[in-house]
């Protein structure tokens, strides 16, 4: 019989089950337990080692992540610096382009300045040559001019001693007013009965056909001629005779509001020496609302206007330069309508003030003497100042002044 305690004890029980000797089973059991324990220890050690290695790896990964983050930050910073550099490079390219444009403009300006200097030298040379030519051409007439200046001193008692290049011309002009005849070189008529239909065509033909500088007469028959006429310095001693005031009319409406300089608004300009006009109306129909609008601009030395009419509003009659004489003429205007810096005598003339814009005042003269030693000025002798018909019905008060000092040494004698 087996001992029950031995049989039911685990080793004994298992030895019976396995048909093994107890001691042998005990040895194998202990060996197994030892192995199991060793295996557990090995597994635990391996686990701890792997855990340590994993923590090391995680720390290493964290460091790598931080490094990568730093690198990313560095890359972002480099990208920002690159973008800034690209922007600076683009700005530098733009500035270089602008500098190139500025240099090109500066070079063009320098070339233009050099060209203008060349033109200025050429103009100075031309002016010098022109002065010499004019001095030579008109030198023979100095004695006549001196005589005429002496005659001008008693112009009140002898009104036909006019400041002109030839007293014979004035006598011929007076003779025509008394019924005599002056032989015309050309005739202008709108009905085809003359040599030309316009005054401009006659002037152009005169430049081509005329020989010498003797008096040249153009007869302008009755009619309204809407033209802009320029008689240059190359056409001295020209004479225009019309059929009378408001019968032969030269008209236009150019004005300052069209963007023109004041002198460019003139219906009629004359620069040639010794010009004479008789029986003609010179007119600029631009109204007072259009500002400066010249009817006649005269820069003709020793020029004469006899029984002519000048109609406009602001700046009607421009007595630009040199010696001029007006007799028995009608002059209409509002603001500064007799102006300039000529040595001018207006004798036995009618001066009519017209209706200006509301709030404006009329000023008859605006003389432009700028040098106190200059001999220029206006003499308005034995003339009448009155209102034109269109001024009378005005429903507001209009102040009218004899003149204003346009320049520092303005001089007008009534």
Q: Tell me, yes or no, if 336 is annotated catalytic.
A: yes
Average pLDDT over residues 301-317: 97
Whether 167 shows a pLDDT value over 60: the answer reads no
Which pair of tokens denotes residue 318? 């421009």
Measured CA to CA, the distance from residue 332 to residue 284 in angstroms comes to 10
- Residues 93-144 have pLDDT tens digits of 888 888 888 888 888 888 888 888 888 888 887 877 777 777 777 666 665 5
pLDDT band, very low/low/confident/very high, at 38 (cuts 50, 70, 90): confident
Mean model confidence pLDDT for the chain: 84
Sign, CA dihedral 239-245-246-247, equals negative
Give 39-69 pLDDT, tens digit per residue: 777 777 878 888 888 888 888 888 888 888 8
pLDDT tens figures, 372-398: 999 999 999 999 999 988 776 555 678
Matching residue, tokens 């305690």: 5
CATH top-level class for 186-403?
Answer: mainly beta
pLDDT of residue 246: 97
| Mean pLDDT along residues 142-158 | 48
Q: Which two tokens stand for residue 279?
A: 């029986």
Given 72, 336, 371, 408, the catalytic residue: 336
User: What token pair was written down for 94?
Assistant: 């733009």
Give residue limits of the domains in the chain.
Answer: 22-124, 186-403
Please identify which residue in the block is written with the tokens 């683009």: 90
Kindly state the average pLDDT of the residues 153-163.
39
Residue 81 or 384, more confident: 384
Residues in the chain: 414
* Token couple for 131: 């002065």
CB crowding 96-135: b at 16 or more within 10 Å, else e = eeeeeeeeeeeeeeeeeeeeeeeeeeeeeeeeeeeeeeee
Percentages of the chain per state (helix, strand, coil), in multiples of 5: 45, 25, 35
Q: How would you classify residue 3: left for phi > 0, otherwise alpha for psi between -120 and 50, otherwise beta?
A: beta
Helices vs. strands in the chain: H and E counts, helices first = 6, 23
Q: Under DSSP, is residue 212 helix (H, G, I), strand (E, B) or coil?
A: coil
Lowest mean pLDDT among 21-35, 50-64, 147-161, 190-204: 147-161
Q: Which pTM was predicted?
A: 0.60
Does 149 score more than 90 pLDDT?
Answer: no
Crossing angle of helices 22-138/10-18, nearest 10°?
100
């Amino acid at each position: 019989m087996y001992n029950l305690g031995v049989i039911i004890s685990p080793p004994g029980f298992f030895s019976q089950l396995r048909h093994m000797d107890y001691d042998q089973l005990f040895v194998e059991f202990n060996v197994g337990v030892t192995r199991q324990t060793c295996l557990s220890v090995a597994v635990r050690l391996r686990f701890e080692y792997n855990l340590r290695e994993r923590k090391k790896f995680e720390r290493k990964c964290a460091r790598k992540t931080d490094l990568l983050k730093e690198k990313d930050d560095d890359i972002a910073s480099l990208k920002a610096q690159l973008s800034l550099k690209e922007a600076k490079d683009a700005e530098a390219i733009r500035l270089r382009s602008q500098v190139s444009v500025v240099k090109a403009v500066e070079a063009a300006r320098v070339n233009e300045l050099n060209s203008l200097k060349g033109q200025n030298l050429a103009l100075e040379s031309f002016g010098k040559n022109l002065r010499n030519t004019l001095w030579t051409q008109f030198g023979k007439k100095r004695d006549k001019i001196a005589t005429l200046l002496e005659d001008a001193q008693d112009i009140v008692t002898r009104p036909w001693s006019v400041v002109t290049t030839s007293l014979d011309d004035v006598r011929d002009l007076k003779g025509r007013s008394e019924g005599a005849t002056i032989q015309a070189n050309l005739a202008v008529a709108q009905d085809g009965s003359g040599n030309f239909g316009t005054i401009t065509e006659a002037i152009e033909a005169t430049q081509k056909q005329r020989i010498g500088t003797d008096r040249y007469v153009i007869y302008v028959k009755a009619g309204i001629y809407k033209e802009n006429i320029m008689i240059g310095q190359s056409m001295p001693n020209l004479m225009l005779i019309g059929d009378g005031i408001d019968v032969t009319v030269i008209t236009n409406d150019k004005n300052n509001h069209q963007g023109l300089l004041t002198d460019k608004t003139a219906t009629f300009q004359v620069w040639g020496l010794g010009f004479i006009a008789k029986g003609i109306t010179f007119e600029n129909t631009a109204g007072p609302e259009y500002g400066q609008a010249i009817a006649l601009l005269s820069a003709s030395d020793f020029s004469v206007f006899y029984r002519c009419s000048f109609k406009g509003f602001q700046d009607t009659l421009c007595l630009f330069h040199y010696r001029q004489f007006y007799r028995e003429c009608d002059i209409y205007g509002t603001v500064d309508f007799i102006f300039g810096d000529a040595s001018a005598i207006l004798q036995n003339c009618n001066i009519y003030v017209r209706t200006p814009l509301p709030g404006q005042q009329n000023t008859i003269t605006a003389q432009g003497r700028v040098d106190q030693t200059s001999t220029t000025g206006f003499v308005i002798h034995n003339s009448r100042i009155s209102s034109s018909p269109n001024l009378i019905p005005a429903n507001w008060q209009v102040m009218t002044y004899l003149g204003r000092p346009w320049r520092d040494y303005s001089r007008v004698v009534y």
